[in-house]
Amino acid sequence: MGGYHPRDYWGSLERLLGRLVILALAVFLVGELAGGAAFRSWVGMEGRHLAGAAVALEKGFSQAKAATGTVTIMLVSRPSSPRAKLLVNGKVEENFATSFLTITVHPNDLLELDGTAEPGILRFRVVKTSLNVLQPALGTEVVTQQSIGYLGKVKLKSGA
């Protein structure tokens, strides 16, 4: 009996699908090489350029890195205290040789005031910030008594 066999059906379907895939790849390749933009428009890929996306992503990263603000902190309790220090991310940034310090800050910088080397109570206040600084807020006060006071993490307005 020479009738229908299921293997014949699956084999012919496999050959048909293989040919369709090869044909689709060939059409895509010829369209890219010959037509470029017209072909991308026809397949709905107009404007989707990988190089353009990479440039946009790089711009976003550089803008994020470039985002800065300024914060001015005043030592309120004394005219100066050279042993009192402002720490940024755990590292000494400046000391309070004068009563005012202005620093440049970046998003998520951790600001602390180190009064461990100075006997007595020290009071600090944020007296000025650039317009794009959300935190530390203007007027924030920190008091130390031979300790390290937490001023907080810097937050900047988005898009600034």
Each domain of the chain, given as residue ranges in start order, spans: 6-48, 66-156
Residue 58 DSSP one-character state:
H
- Of 69, 76, 67, nearest to 113 by C-alpha is 76
- Of 103, 37, 39, 115, nearest to 76 by C-alpha is 115
pLDDT string in tens for the chain (160-residue length): 556 566 666 677 788 888 888 888 887 777 667 665 555 565 555 555 545 555 555 555 555 556 899 999 999 999 999 999 999 999 999 999 999 999 999 999 999 999 999 989 999 999 999 999 999 999 999 999 999 999 999 999 876 4
Inter-residue contact 133 to 73 (CB < 8 Å)? no
| Preceding amide of 119 cis, omega within 30 | no
